[in-house]
Chains A and B, each alone.
Chain A
Amino acid sequence: GDSVTQTEGLVTLTEGLPVMLNCTYQSTYSPFLFWYVQHLNEAPKLLLKSFTDNKRPEHQGFHATLHKSSSSFHLQKSSAQLSDSALYYCALSALNNNAGAKLTFGGGTRLTVRP
């Protein structure tokens, strides 16, 4: 079955330092990868999704590159901001026969950015 692993449950950074949140996956089928962000007491929202043509998605200063050879989709940002403090989920979506597409989420990484 499909699975997503986020190795860090909690990441604490000082404002201005680079951000890297790890995501690796396993899937029987060729999947699409996503990063969703959930701020405190809010709904999860899409941050990034992988492209089919190997372009690097970027949004709000965040970017991620899908590496099929290492089954990874790490999230990066060059300079953390206080407003980046949130829960980040890496997720995978693949069409499984007739079961339809579904999102399989990693365990989430809570990012805290300090002044």
Chain B
Amino acid sequence: ETAVFQTPNYHVTQVGNEVSFNCKQTLGHDTMYWYKQDSKKLLKIMFSYNNKQLIVNETVPRRFSPQSSDKAHLNLRIKSVEPEDSAVYLCASSSDWGALYEQYFGPGTRLTVL
């Protein structure tokens, strides 16, 4: 099956802890993204990578750091979570980083910070 896969589906943690989310795509795409979808369903880009190189880095707190081992994987680490980090984190990929390319989304990881 070719798709975008994310683990875990859900994660509950306490303020100050470190969390890591994994994303893998089997579509053979060159570009991957992380988005944050908050409780009001606002969807915002956080990072994008093309062939393991960071190409978009929006204004996100320093505690967020993306990690790419190869073009099929893009993980997200949050060093010390805060309550406002509670959200759904969506991973996506596209065949290239041009403006017209369709993005394919994973099912998301729901983070709850207590």
Contact = CB atoms under 8 A, between A and B. Distances in A.
Interface of A: 31-32, 34, 42-46, 49, 52, 87, 89, 93-95, 99-105, 107-108, 110
Contact of A43 (B40, B44, B45, B107): B107
A74 to B, nearest CB: 19
B106 to A, nearest CB: 6
A102 B48 contact: yes
Contacts of A93: 99-100
A53 to B, nearest CB: 12
B43 A94 contact: no
Interface residues of B, number: 25
Interface SS majority for chain A: strand
A39 B40 CA distance: 15
B99 A45 contact: no
24 contacts: A31-B99, A32-B100, A43-B105, A43-B106, A44-B90, A49-B100, A52-B100, A89-B43, A93-B99, A94-B99, A95-B98, A100-B97, A101-B97, A101-B99, A101-B101, A102-B45, A103-B33, A103-B103, A105-B43, A105-B44, A107-B40, A107-B41, A107-B42, A110-B41
Interface string B77-114: 00000000000001000000111111101111000000
B101 to A, nearest CB: 7
B15 interface: no
Nearest to A41: B107
A99 B41 CA distance: 25
Contact of A100 (B43, B56, B105, B108): B56
